[in-house]
Amino acid sequence: MKFPRIKNIVPNAVCIFFISFLIACSTNSSYKSNNQKESKPYALTTFTILADIAKNIAGDRIYVESITKPGTEIHTYQFTPSDLIKVKKADLIFENGLGLESWINKFMTSAGNIPRFTLSNGLEPLEIASDAYAGKPNPHAWMSPKRTIKYVDNIVNAFVQIDPEGQEFYLQQAYKYKQELMKLDEQLRVHLSSLPSESRFLVTCEGAFSYLAYDYGMKEAYLWPVNSENQVTPRRMANLISKVKDNQIKTIFCETTVSAKAQKEVARASGAAFGGNFFVDSLSGPNGPAPTLLELYGYNLDLIKEGLSIK
Ligand SMILES: [Zn+2]
């Protein structure tokens, strides 16, 4: 009779030890976060690209973190309990707005009274070119560097609200970062305008390039308007195949946060080449080719040049 009792005690002891270990771990991690929060303000962003822009302005004065990790599909993200724990420690949250984060209202209701700043505020939005989305704005304004400047101004205004003494510093950081954005704007203008006019046609999976196409003189076509409904239908595929053939587009592309399978099929059926995946709704990880927004622009531009230039 004693043996089974001892057997019960051992797992219980292991279990108690394990639970204590978990509590110790979680206490430790929250202590670390509290330290970060105590020493400097804590800004959360909905996705990696906003975090990168904000870090360029924050310097060492504000701790900035993205809720979602690199590679995450952002439109229909399902937030987790640990995201809610994180946001309760934040001093503010940055969202893109223009309908990008379909989950944000529910998230903010659960998060409580955290100041929320919409970084696309003040921009003139382009509409999603699809009957099903008539009148709705295209959310991907950061894809055009000159429009990202507005995001920078909005970040400065938000940071000054939580850290007024840092105003001069944030303005200087913003000035330097805007110079970099203007350089990218110039590079995009020079390289995209040097493509043969018939090649200036950007075919992607999601309609995320409207701002880039509009600002730099390209036409665009895509498999679906926004990732929140990225169903590939035979009709959409057939339409895109015809468009690629009719316009003799030699290379088409997809994005890193969605499957490129259907687009590769469009390429095969239309005779175009598949030119690779753009970074759009997420940066790459730190060791990938697009760990910052400036590098993202450069990487995408290289793919476009490689795919659409005359060889
Ligand atoms: Zn998107």
Q: Average of pLDDT values for 97-124?
A: 95
pLDDT band at 296 (very low <50, low <70, confident <90, very high): very high
49 CA from centroid of ligand 1 (Å): 12
pLDDT for 124 beyond 80: yes
Cα(56)–Cα(93) distance, integer angstroms? 16
Kindly state whether residues 39 and 169 are assigned to the same domain: yes
**192, 137: one domain:** no
If asked whether residues 197 and 279 sit together in one domain, one would say yes
Task: Classify residue 261: in a domain, yes or no.
Answer: yes
Residue 267, domain extent: 188-308
Using CA atoms, how far apart are residues 140 and 243, in angstroms rounded to an integer? 23
Same domain flag for 166 and 219: no
Please report whether residue 18 resides in a domain.
no
What is the tally of structural domains in the chain?
Answer: 2
Ligand 1 (ion): which residues have CB within 5 A? Answer: 208, 227, 281
Confidence of residue 1 (pLDDT cuts 50, 70, 90): very low
Q: How far is the CA of 227 from the centre of ligand 1 (A)?
A: 5
CA of 226 to the centre of ligand 1 (A): 6
Residue at which a domain ends, from 112, 138, 173: 173
Ligand 1 centroid to residue 228 C-alpha, Å: 8
Give me the pLDDT at residue 28, please: 33
197 & 267 share domain: yes
DSSP per-residue string spanning 254-303:
EETTS--HHHHHHHHHHTPEEEEEE--SS---TTSS-SSHHHHHHHHHHH
> What are 130-162's pLDDT values in tens digits?
777 888 999 999 999 999 999 999 999 999 999
Band (112; pLDDT cuts 50, 70, 90) = confident
Residue 25 falls within a domain, yes or no?
Answer: no
> Closest Cα to residue 66, out of 88, 38, 42, 102?
42
Question: What does the pLDDT read at residue 76?
Answer: 92
* Same domain, residue pair 169 and 196: no
pLDDT value, residue 226: 85
User: What does the pLDDT look like over 20-51, one tens digit per residue?
Assistant: 333 333 333 333 344 444 589 999 999 999 99
CA of 42 to the centre of ligand 1 (A): 26
Residues forming beta bridges with residue 117, ordered by sequence position? 94
- Is 16 a domain residue? no
Q: How confident is the model at residue 230 (pLDDT cuts 50, 70, 90)?
A: low
| Predicted local confidence at residue 307, as pLDDT | 96
Q: In the predicted model, what is the mean pLDDT of the chain? A: 88
Measured in Å, residue 168 CA sits from the centre of ligand 1 at 34
Same structural domain, 111 and 150:
yes
Last residue of a domain, one of 145, 173, 201: 173
Is residue 14 in some structural domain? no
Residue 103 in any domain: the answer is yes
300 in the same domain as 206: yes
**149, 173, 197 — which closes off a domain?**
173
Domain of 291, CATH number, reads 3.40.50.1980
- 162 assigned to some structural domain: yes
Same domain, 169 and 192: no
Terminal C-alpha separation, the chain: 83
Q: Is residue 226 part of a domain?
A: yes
Report the separation in Å between the CA atom of 108 and the middle of ligand 1, taken as the mean of its atom positions. 21
Q: pTM score, two decimals? A: 0.86
Ligand 1 centroid – CA 19 distance (Å) = 40
